[in-house]
Structure 1
Amino acid sequence: MNAEIIGVGSELLLGQIANTNAQYLSKQLAEIGINVYYHTVVGDNATRLKETIHTAQKRADLIIFTGGLGPTKDDLTKETISAVLDKPLVTDEEALQSIESYFKKVNRVMTPNNKKQALVMSGSTILHNNYGMAPGMAIKVSGIEYLLFPGPPKELYPMFENYAKDYLLSKLEIKERIESRVLRFFGIGESQLETEIEDLLEKQSNPTIAPLAGDGEVTLRLTAKHADSKQAKKLIDDVETEILQKVGPYFYGYNQTSLPEELMKHLINEEKTIASAESLTGGLFSERLTSISGAGAVLKGSIVCYHNDVKQHTLGVLNETLNNHGAISVQCAKEMAEQIRIKCCSDIGISFTGVAGPKVQEGKEVGTVFVGIAIEGKETVVHHLQLSGSRQAIRQRSVYYGCHYLLKQLKERD
């Protein structure tokens, strides 16, 4: 079964809301073996919606609509589809009673247009809405399955899970499971990674391997298809093993994780604390950690020492260091990391100093970055980076490199 998802609503085209429904549905459909080949968005316009339906009918045998089932005049999805399919709209009494009960419960007057939400196409299977008013529906016409969902995710998600999923599974002749896994890498470019696993990319079939460059990192999505979910996972396991044999040192985690999250997990598991001294990053490192649940057990504190006076008088960097080597130097990064660890009584101190731009500072080019890592009982290490990109990109990538280097050093110790 090949699907097209059509999001209906001018607010989607205006960028007022993101089309998260299509993302959710694509993931759910993939898991039950339905291919999604097209995402389409159309505004609240009957003529354009009809044209969109006619286009979808030529290339899909499952067409899913989200949005446009509400009570207002611009909610025209089911009216338009009803006209295209020549299926009259009738009142679903159960839905109408549910809508009337809701208004009585909240002690509000039910306006006549709310009855519109109880209209469904004649002959359709009703998908009950347990978290809203307008029911969804499913109907097959001329060999094509049509599914209609309300737009609010809080209504659509449970409707799909509780009703639509079973409906679709009953229509599938071959029930294949699609399993996918994302491998995340840092410190290696997309082209280099593809070169390292070129032989695997050339022979891929099932599972497939899809590289994707992200914000300073690279991901590989592994997707396997099999009737048995366990067998699909085994196919992925086997390919993952081959990949990590080639580029394992750059691998740091799975799926939707991030370097700060992985660092946080490691610090929590090892019961280690950390403190940061931030010049270049201006508190961005500590912000990333504190945005993750559990940071209170890990992060002792942070000093944003943007000005040299703060580096010297608050943090404790030596005046001689600043005069002889400058704030943007190996020596300054080293002292910053060591001093913040001591002042915050933490196991680890990390520092960031450098030039984010837009101008050269202390004779150092834009993108020059020093990351210091001081671990109790170990020699302090300073990493020198030369990054490119915008001011914000340099700052963000500095934080990620800090997480990467520290995580790598901690794992090597283990």
Structure 2
Amino acid sequence: MNTKTEIIAVGSELLLGQIVNSNAQFISRELAEMGFNTFYHTVTGDNAGRLTEAVKTAQSRSNIIIFTGGLGPTKDDLTKEAIAGHLNVNLVMDAEAMASIEEYFVKVKRTMTENNRKQALVLEGAHILKNDTGMAPGMALESDGIIYLLMPGPPSEMRPMFLNYARPYLLERLGVQEKIMSRVLRYFGIGESQLESELEDLIDSQTNPTIAPLAGDGEVTLRLTAKHREATSATQLLNEMEQKINARVGDYFYGYDSTSLLQEVTDALIERKTTIASAESLTGGLFSEQLTTVKGTSSVLMGGIVCYTNAVKENLLKVKQETLRNHGAVSEQCAREMAENIRHLAGSDIGISFTGVAGPEPMEGQPVGTVFIGISSKNETEVHKLNLAGSRDGIRKRSVKYGCRFLMKHLEKHTAI
């Protein structure tokens, strides 16, 4: 089947800009991995007439129409009612869904209102998609050669429903025999345009595996997707493409799939049984705060000092007065002493420091975006200078990520700290 997929998100809150349509992004990404073509995204408010018009338009150009939202208990949840009316299909009670809803209200010791029964109504003859994290089930119905797929709006309900039930349904219904496997490669320290330039010929000639670049939050990811009847062969295709890619840009590669720089740094510190402490001026404690969000950090993070003023740098962190007077707080010399001193004060294996100018105004003659990051261990102390662009908040966040990258390189260079 030549798939022409359209996603229709239902909800006035989307049109008002109150929430982001992350569902369409998620579904499009998953469909691309499955080898399905998504040509249109449509958003409509909670209005039966406009939703019906959107369905008519989609029917003229798509053979898979996926809906998110409008399956709840209130009067403005009208997706299945509108589609039932348009397709001349009855809505019937799904006994399993109704039992699950009743069980939920018993569990939370609340009285179920009558409108909650509405959530258990489904299109007659539809294939039911279980809702493991909510109440309203999803459903799939084929009519006149078009597959209609209805799922709830909350991402916490829609995403597991799609992965666990909708995706297998579509693959089986459309007779997809090939194994589809994907792998996300994560890069930091290289821009999207530079990465694509380095891989231009590979991207232009992609067939199997496919290569999908995606930039966001100061990082770049490549999603590789391979198809083959044998899973081992699909994996081999991914391995071969990854090797070609990282032969060119491997210096910026740091991990796979849903990992993060913070996760990789924490794992490396734990594996090496290496402790760390931080001295933060520019970042104001952001490095330590973010590190503590990662499981296992308590075994390696000794603590830190937020030394936003020169007085705290000098009196608490013991940065030399002449260093601050002769070179300033935004300097290689200050970053070096901050990293070395926090390591000694905390008794940690590594000290990391952040100092610089986040803006909005220059400081000590240094332009906005000037950043010094120091890393000190018993082996050496190194200081990295950056010239970053962007907002004040963006500079601070990217400084933390660069700190993680430099720390990873330091750990790799000195395997036994």
* Superposed pair shares fold, TM > 0.5: yes
Q: CA deviation at 1:33?
A: 4.5
Contact 1:32/1:177, CA 8 A, preserved across alignment: no
Q: 2:252 aligns with which of 250, 253, 278?
A: 250
Label 1:66 to 1:317 Cα distance change in 2 as closer, same or farther (>3 A): same
Label 1:54 to 1:339 Cα distance change in 2 as closer, same or farther (>3 A): same
Give, in whole Å, the separation in 2 of the partners of 1:183 and 1:97.
43
Of residues 28-37 and 131-140 in structure 1, the stretch that sits farther from structure 2 once superposed is 28-37
The AA in structure 2 aligned to 1:349 is G
Measured on the aligned residues, the alpha-carbon RMSD in Å equals 2.5
Trace 1:257-336 onto structure 2 (pairs within 5 A): 257-336=259-338
Deviation by residue 1:210-232 (Cα, 9 ceiling, x = unmatched) = 22333323222222222333322
Contact 1:272/1:347, CA 8 A, preserved across alignment: yes
Q: CA deviation at 1:369?
A: 1.3
Of residues 265-274 and 384-393 in structure 1, the stretch that sits farther from structure 2 once superposed is 384-393
Aligned residue in 1 for 2:202:
200
Label 1:90 to 1:367 Cα distance change in 2 as closer, same or farther (>3 A): closer
Q: 1:363 aligns with which of 353, 356, 365?
A: 365
Label 1:68 to 1:349 Cα distance change in 2 as closer, same or farther (>3 A): same
Label 1:159 to 1:329 Cα distance change in 2 as closer, same or farther (>3 A): closer
SS of equivalent residue, structure 1 residue 315: coil
The AA in structure 1 aligned to 2:343 is R
Aligned residue in 2 for 1:403:
404
Give, in whole Å, the separation in 2 of the partners of 1:367 and 1:130.
47
Contact 2:33/2:225, CA 8 A, preserved across alignment: no
Q: CA deviation at 1:113?
A: 3.4
Contact 1:32/1:176, CA 8 A, preserved across alignment: no
Deviation by residue 1:261-317 (Cα, 9 ceiling, x = unmatched) = 211111111010111111111111111211111111111111011111111110001
Label 1:34 to 1:209 Cα distance change in 2 as closer, same or farther (>3 A): closer
Give, in whole Å, the separation in 1 of the partners of 2:336 and 2:102.
69
Of residues 152-161 and 59-68 in structure 1, the stretch that sits farther from structure 2 once superposed is 152-161
Label 1:276 to 1:4 Cα distance change in 2 as closer, same or farther (>3 A): same
The AA in structure 2 aligned to 1:318 is K
SS of equivalent residue, structure 1 residue 53: helix
Label 1:64 to 1:337 Cα distance change in 2 as closer, same or farther (>3 A): same
Q: CA deviation at 1:7?
A: 2.1
Give, in whole Å, the separation in 1 of the partners of 2:122 and 2:344.
69
1:142 aligns with 2:144: yes
Give, in whole Å, the separation in 2 of the partners of 1:190 and 1:101.
49
Aligned residue in 2 for 1:188:
190
Q: Which runs of 5+ in 1 are unaligned?
A: none
Aligned residue in 2 for 1:215:
217
Give, in whole Å, the separation in 2 of the partners of 1:175 and 1:64.
22
Of residues 340-349 and 26-35 in structure 1, the stretch that sits farther from structure 2 once superposed is 26-35
The AA in structure 2 aligned to 1:191 is S
Of residues 390-399 and 334-343 in structure 1, the stretch that sits farther from structure 2 once superposed is 390-399
Aligned residue in 1 for 2:390:
389
SS of equivalent residue, structure 2 residue 148: strand
Q: CA deviation at 1:93?
A: 5.1
Label 1:302 to 1:75 Cα distance change in 2 as closer, same or farther (>3 A): same
Trace 1:99-138 onto structure 2 (pairs within 5 A): 99=101, 110-129=112-131, 132-138=134-140
Q: CA deviation at 1:326?
A: 1.3
Give, in whole Å, the separation in 1 of the partners of 2:324 and 2:65.
65
Give, in whole Å, the separation in 2 of the partners of 1:358 and 1:100.
56
Give, in whole Å, the separation in 1 of the partners of 2:207 and 2:166.
30
Give, in whole Å, the separation in 2 of the partners of 1:104 and 1:271.
48
The AA in structure 2 aligned to 1:361 is M
Label 1:389 to 1:115 Cα distance change in 2 as closer, same or farther (>3 A): closer
SS of equivalent residue, structure 1 residue 205: coil
Of residues 146-155 and 384-393 in structure 1, the stretch that sits farther from structure 2 once superposed is 146-155
User: TM-score, normalising length from structure 2?
Assistant: 0.90
Deviation by residue 1:302-347 (Cα, 9 ceiling, x = unmatched) = 1011111111110001111111211111111111111000000000
Of residues 228-237 and 351-360 in structure 1, the stretch that sits farther from structure 2 once superposed is 228-237
SS of equivalent residue, structure 1 residue 151: coil
Q: Which runs of 5+ in 2 are unaligned?
A: none
Label 1:214 to 1:113 Cα distance change in 2 as closer, same or farther (>3 A): closer
Aligned residue in 2 for 1:412:
413
Q: CA deviation at 1:97?
A: 5.7
Label 1:162 to 1:306 Cα distance change in 2 as closer, same or farther (>3 A): closer
Trace 1:168-179 onto structure 2 (pairs within 5 A): 168-179=170-181
The AA in structure 2 aligned to 1:43 is G
Of residues 8-17 and 291-300 in structure 1, the stretch that sits farther from structure 2 once superposed is 8-17
The AA in structure 2 aligned to 1:296 is S
Deviation by residue 1:338-359 (Cα, 9 ceiling, x = unmatched) = 1000000000011111111122
SS of equivalent residue, structure 1 residue 327: coil
Aligned residue in 2 for 1:372:
374
Label 1:159 to 1:404 Cα distance change in 2 as closer, same or farther (>3 A): closer
